Structure 1
Amino acid sequence: MAWEITDINVGDEVAITVTVLKLLDDGRASVSIPSYGFPRSIPAPKKAKPGDELQLTGEVTRVDEQDRTVTMKAGGLITIDVDAITDWTPVPRKKMASLRDEPD
């Protein structure tokens, strides 16, 4: 599902689907992240095997509307295309008075 980049803000929680490439000896798994271009190591869930798809969640730290990318913090910083996001949970925000000067 494609999300509108203008809806996503810093602090929101997003999820992406990653694919297990191989299991490493230290209890971690090497995974492929869509639109990231580099394999990444994450803690391997029990019974994970190569080819499995896993959900990776993280907090948004940067939104680039021009490039349509989102940087998320999931053990480290990962910059992905907004189209790679499979789930999005906005953080509740308080309504504040406008900080802009308005004419009387």
Structure 2
Amino acid sequence: MAWEITDINIGDEVTLTVTVLKMLDGGRASVSIPSYGFSYSIPAAKKTQPGDELQLRGEVTHVDEEDQKITVKAGGLITVDADTITGWTPVPRKKTAFRDEAD
């Protein structure tokens, strides 16, 4: 990991690498997400097979620096260990100066 959890902010986009467990009806795949102990399914291409690794992208909604966990909105809310994040794109933020005078 090339970043620290303190670098990640709400609104940033992160990528998780997931492994396909099995294909479901309707073009969906049941996937395993590292450090996430629940079943999860995502839309998948027709040629996707069990064992394939896919990229799941989502927006950070919560950062828990104490427990080293990140909550990501990728369809539903997924809370994972920060070290399972495989990609991170910070959202551009404006830097505004504080003003000492009243309007």
1:18 maps to: 18
Hey, what does 1:68 align to over in structure 2?
68
- Secondary structure at 1:48 match in 2: coil
SS in 2 for 1:6: helix
Aligned residues of 1:2 and 1:83 also touching (Cα < 8 A)? no
Once the two structures are superposed, the pairs formed by residues 14-53 of structure 1 within 5 Å of their partners are 14-53=14-53
What is the TM-score when the length of structure 1 is the normalising length?
0.91
Query: Percent identity among equivalent residues?
Result: 76
Q: Helix, strand or coil for the counterpart of 1:83?
A: helix
Question: Which range is displaced more, 45-54 or 1-10?
Answer: 1-10
8 Å Cα contact 2:27/2:46 also seen in 1: no
Q: Aligned letter for 2:50?
A: P
Partner AA of 1:48 in structure 2: T
TM-score by length of 2: 0.91
- Aligned residue pair count: 100
CA contact under 8 A between 1:3 and 1:83: conserved in structure 2?
no
Q: How does 1:64-103 map to 2 (within 5 A)?
A: 64-98=64-98
Cα offsets for 1:28-63 (capped at 9, x unmatched): 100000000112011112310000000000000000
CA distance in 1 between counterparts of 2:10 and 2:32 reads 24
Q: Per-residue deviation at 1:2?
A: 5.5
The runs of 5 or more residues in structure 1 that have no matched partner are none
Q: 2:12 corresponds to which letter in structure 1? A: D
- Unpaired segments ≥5 residues, structure 2: none
